[in-house]
């Protein structure tokens, strides 16, 4: 049985990956500080599994991390722990540096010591996977970003993730530490924190409130279903070459307004309201330094490891809308952490559908 240390495993992508591991009969040590986007409700149904152990704590706590590594001796570390929201990084950049850069550094230092102390067989099979983002490549006008593209981050968030990637890569070059880095496109799916574009649009529409859209709504992103992302991560852990980076893309480039219209149309089919949902769309001034387009080339992952996305955007979005409709209690409780003065059931204030 493989033992995984998952950091940030109560967040959106992390908890979906934890589920994948548990149902594949792996053992998971789940470390999460439970900041605003960490949610124990995401893990409630996993409490029956003895193979899942949750620890509340920070990757910035080197003593705790070292203790957990010594006690549980994981074969794989996957670092999902991060502050991830661009708007929050504009307001509080220092928090992003503290978690995404310093935290990754603390985690790497403890993991290196742990790896160096493993017997030969365990050392050879050990992997450290850093979960990063396509935003490190910056905005591109044409084509797609490859693993060899220049890093040009344009927000405090993406700059902090770029810095973390450089640290991870440096540990491989300096110490031979067996690292892997993934740069994924925009994820969507169940249990996503509702400050993100798709869940926030769904919840705002259901509450009959304005779905505010930055600028002209023509900013383009590639969308990746979280289930496909988890499949890719398993392929990379099992067969990826240490020291390498792998782009993970969904082959589903859409403008923000196209995404919002698709959500509205999906809701119209299953829960029509007193007015068309598209009427709730409202354009607002653009975000400072808003990147126009991201698009990654995942050819390396597809050719080396045989992974391709299996969920179309249309099918994945329909499934996602259905999940939020069926899980109103989760939505209401989670929305309170975004906007504690309101609840989904009583209406949501005019707040932006941020990406």
Mind listing the pLDDT tens digit for each residue in 162-205? 999 999 999 999 999 999 999 999 999 999 988 899 999 999 99
Show the tokens assigned to 44.
């409630």
Q: Are 150 and 137 a contacting pair, CB within 8 Å? A: yes
- Give the structural domain span for 167: 3-188+224-248
Whether residue 130 sits in one domain with residue 107: yes
* Three-state secondary structure string covering the chain: CCEEEEECCCCHHHHHHHHHHHHCCCEEEEEECCCCCCCHHHHHHHCCCCCEEEEECCCCCHHHHHHHHHHHCCCEEEECCCCCCHHHHHHCHHHHHHHHHHHHHHHHHHHHHHHHCCCHHHHHHCEEEEEEEHHHHCCCCCCCECCCCCCCCCCHHHHHHHHHHHHHHHHHHHHCCCEEEEEECEEECCCCCCCCHHHHHHHHHHCCCCEEEECCCCCEEEEEEHHHHHHHHHHHHHHCCCCCEEEECCCCEEEHHHHHHHHHHHHHHHCCCCCCHHHHEEEECCCCCCCCECCECCHHHHHHHCCCCCCCHHHHHHHHHHHHHHCHHHHHHHHHHHCCCCEHHHECCCCECCC
The pLDDT score that the predictor gives to residue 337 is: 58
The pLDDT score that the predictor gives to residue 275 is: 85
Mean pLDDT of the chain: 92
Could you say which of 32, 83, 135, 222 is catalytic?
A: 135
Whether residue 121 sits in one domain with residue 151: yes
Whether residue 13 sits in one domain with residue 132: yes
Whether residue 83 sits in one domain with residue 175: yes
Could you say which of 157, 214, 294, 324 is catalytic?
A: 157
Q: Regarding beta strands 76-79 and 127-133, do their DSSP bridges make them parallel or antiparallel, or are they unpaired?
A: parallel
Q: Are 284 and 352 a contacting pair, CB within 8 Å? A: yes
Active site residue 134: yes
Show the tokens assigned to 313.
């955007």
Whether residue 281 sits in one domain with residue 230: no
The pLDDT score that the predictor gives to residue 336 is: 62
Q: What is the mean pLDDT of residues 65-70?
A: 98
d(CA 313, CA 224): 8
User: Is residue 355 situated within a structural domain?
Assistant: no
d(CA 124, CA 130): 18
pLDDT tens for each residue of 23-32:
999 999 999 9
d(CA 280, CA 187): 24
Whether residue 212 sits in one domain with residue 139: no
User: Is residue 42 situated within a structural domain?
Assistant: yes
Residues of the chain above pLDDT 90, percent: 81
Residue whose tokens read 């709730």:
280
User: Is residue 96 situated within a structural domain?
Assistant: yes
Whether residue 141 sits in one domain with residue 126: yes
- CATH code of the domain covering residue 22: 3.40.50.720
pTM, two decimal places? 0.92
Name the more confident of 341 and 119. Answer: 119
d(CA 33, CA 38): 7
Active site residue 157: yes
pLDDT at 296 over 90: yes
User: Is residue 123 situated within a structural domain?
Assistant: yes
User: Is residue 260 situated within a structural domain?
Assistant: yes
- Residue 328 CA to chain centroid, in angstroms? 22
Structural domains counted in the chain? 2
User: Is residue 143 situated within a structural domain?
Assistant: yes
d(CA 233, CA 240): 9
How would residue 349 be classed by pLDDT, with cut points 50, 70 and 90?
very low
Active site residue 329: no
How would residue 84 be classed by pLDDT, with cut points 50, 70 and 90?
confident
- CATH code of the domain covering residue 321: 3.90.25.10
User: Is residue 244 situated within a structural domain?
Assistant: yes
Whether residue 340 sits in one domain with residue 201: yes
Q: b or e along 234-265 (b: 16 or more beta carbons within 10 Å of the residue's beta carbon)?
A: bbbbeebeebbbbbbbbbbbbbbbebbbbbbe
The pLDDT score that the predictor gives to residue 312 is: 97
pLDDT at 344 over 70: no
- Point out the least confidently predicted range of 10-19, 33-42, 45-54: 33-42
Could you say which of 32, 83, 134, 302 is catalytic?
A: 134
User: Is residue 272 situated within a structural domain?
Assistant: yes
pLDDT at 319 over 50: yes
The pLDDT score that the predictor gives to residue 350 is: 34
Whether residue 150 sits in one domain with residue 286: no
pLDDT tens for each residue of 154-169:
999 999 999 999 999 9
What angle is formed at CA 85 by the lines to CA 89 and CA 234, rounded to 5 degrees? Answer: 130
Whether residue 128 sits in one domain with residue 205: no
Whether residue 205 sits in one domain with residue 158: no
- Residue 6 CA to chain centroid, in angstroms? 13
The pLDDT score that the predictor gives to residue 317 is: 98
Whether residue 120 sits in one domain with residue 240: yes
């Amino acid at each position: 049985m493989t033992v995984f240390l998952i950091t940030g495993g109560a967040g959106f992508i992390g908890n979906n990956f934890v589920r994948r591991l548990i149902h594949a009969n792996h053992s998971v040590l789940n470390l999460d500080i439970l900041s605003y986007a960490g949610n124990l409700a995401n893990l409630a149904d996993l409490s029956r599994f003895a193979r899942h152990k949750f620890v509340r704590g920070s990757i910035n706590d080197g003593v705790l991390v070292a203790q957990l590594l010594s006690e549980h001796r994981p074969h794989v570390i996957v670092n999902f722990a991060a502050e991830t929201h661009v708007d929050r990084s504009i307001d509080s950049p220092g928090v992003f540096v503290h978690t995404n850069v310093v935290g990754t550094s603390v985690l790497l230092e403890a993991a290196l010591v742990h790896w160096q102390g493993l017997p030969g067989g365990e050392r050879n099979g050990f992997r450290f996977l850093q979960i990063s983002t396509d935003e490190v490549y910056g905005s591109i006008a044409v084509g797609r970003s490859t693993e060899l593209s220049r890093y040009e981050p344009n927000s405090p968030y993406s700059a902090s993730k770029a810095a973390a990637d450089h640290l991870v890569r440096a540990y491989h070059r300096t110490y031979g530490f067996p690292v892997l880095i993934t740069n994924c496109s925009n994820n969507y799916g169940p249990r996503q924190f509702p400050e993100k574009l798709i869940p926030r649009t769904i919840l705002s529409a259901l509450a009959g409130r304005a779905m505010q859209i930055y600028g002209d709504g023509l900013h383009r992103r590639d969308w990746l279903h979280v289930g496909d992302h988890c499949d890719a991560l398993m392929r990379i852990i099992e067969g990826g070459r240490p020291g390498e980076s792998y782009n993970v893309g969904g082959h589903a480039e859409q403008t923000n307004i196209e995404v919002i219209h698709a959500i509205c149309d999906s809701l119209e089919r299953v829960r029509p309201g007193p007015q068309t949902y598209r009427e709730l769309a409202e354009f607002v001034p653009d975000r400072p330094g808003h990147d126009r387009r991201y698009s990654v080339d995942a050819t390396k992952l597809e050719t080396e490891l045989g992974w391709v996305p299996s969920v179309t955007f249309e099918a994945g979005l329909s499934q996602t809308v259905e999940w939020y409709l069926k899980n109103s209690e989760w939505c209401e409780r989670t929305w309170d952490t975004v906007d504690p003065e309101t609840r989904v059931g009583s209406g949501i204030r005019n707040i932006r559908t941020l990406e």
